[in-house]
Structure 1
Amino acid sequence: MEISSPSFKEGENIPTKHTCDGENISPALEIGALPEGVLSLALIADDPDAPAGTWTHWLMWDIPPLNGIPEGAAPGILGRNDFNQTNYGGPCPPLGTHRYFFRMYALNCTLNLPEGSTKDELLEAMRNHVLASGELMGVYSR
């Protein structure tokens, strides 16, 4: 499953607009062909280069099987990120260049997890339901 963005290409800089130094608005994501049988999508965006370990920036699930998510949109249920918020938290590295992974999962079910669930709860609920996945990686430094 291919994931891309009109805002940045794989491995390129994430525009300031989508970070804590700008508008902190989520980038638009484009989703390639979905597998047969997909009933919902889930999204995890995180930074494995954070000093304290992987930092979760955005969690969303029960997204309808779409071919894209518009900039600033949240068409699914939002989980609690590591900013302790249920929204998109853009890149905000304390120092150096960090990698940010936007991972989309095609699922054979809806998850019906409550809003504010954690990344671990999402991963557990998705277990054995992932039909396909794809990722887009961008970088950002301050």
Structure 2
Amino acid sequence: MSIERPIAPNPYDFLPATASFTVTSDDVTDGQPLKDDQVADGGNTSPQLSWEGAPEGTKSYVVTCFDPDAPTPSGFWHWALVDLPANVTSLDAGAGAVGADLPGDAFMLRNDGGEAGFMGAAPPQGDQVHRYFFVVHAVGEDSLGIDADASNAVMSSNLAFKAVGRATVMGTYQH
């Protein structure tokens, strides 16, 4: 069943401009379908990510996965890893597992499925192709200034003002 609606714009085009840097993945190829591992009813595993070239002044990172194509006015947050120390420049596949041992003071917010960890792609059966934006946000402060009870909206609002750089890799998925 397809839910007729226009394609959502790239949500990051509407945020304040930041420096760009590079994120790569052994698991996500930009613009290509996600592997089964990154699908909720497949492996439900967060992808491997590595990044380099973050701007000077980066003091921490936030890593997110967002689907702007979910049939909701607010999209769907699949993952938010907050306050990752600046000396961390890669994450192994599965680093977003619920209860994962995280470096420093890093923590995960609840995804829109309700768990504090990564939730794989899970668009409605037969719906249009969905885009999954895996974004590493360089933050100019040691902490984003939120706690694990914050909503993803509060997290993203803080990022709009505290991010000094952004690196994106986007995968797709359709049931």
Work out whether the TM-score is over 0.5.
yes
The amino acid across from 2:150 in the alignment is: S
**Is 1:131–2:161 an aligned residue pair?**
no
User: What is the Cα deviation at residue 127 of structure 1?
Assistant: 4.0
Partner of 1:92: 122
Moved more, 34-43 or 66-75: 66-75
User: What is the Cα deviation at residue 8 of structure 1?
Assistant: 2.4
Partner of 2:136: 104
Distance 1:15 1:45 in 2: 15
Higher strand share: 1
Moved more, 120-129 or 30-39: 120-129
Query: Percent same amino acid at aligned positions?
Result: 27
Runs of 4+ with deviation above 3 angstroms = none
Contact 2:144 2:162 in 1 (8 A): no
Give the gaps of 5 or more residues in structure 2. 1-20, 97-101
Partner of 1:121: 154
User: What is the Cα deviation at residue 93 of structure 1?
Assistant: 0.8
> What are the Cα deviations for residues 66-120 of structure 1, in whole angstroms up to 9, with x where unaligned?
2211111143211121112211001011133211101111011112421132111
Number of residue equivalences: 142
Partner of 1:82: 112
Q: SS at 1:115's partner residue?
A: coil
Give the gaps of 5 or more residues in structure 1. none
Q: SS at 2:157's partner residue?
A: helix
TM-score under structure 1 length normalisation: 0.92
Distance 1:81 1:137 in 2: 18
Partner of 2:31: 11
Q: Which has the larger radius of gyration?
A: 2
The amino acid across from 1:49 in the alignment is: D
Query: Cα 1:128–1:96, aligned 2, differ >3 Å: closer, same or farther?
Result: closer
RMSD over equivalenced CA pairs, Å: 1.4
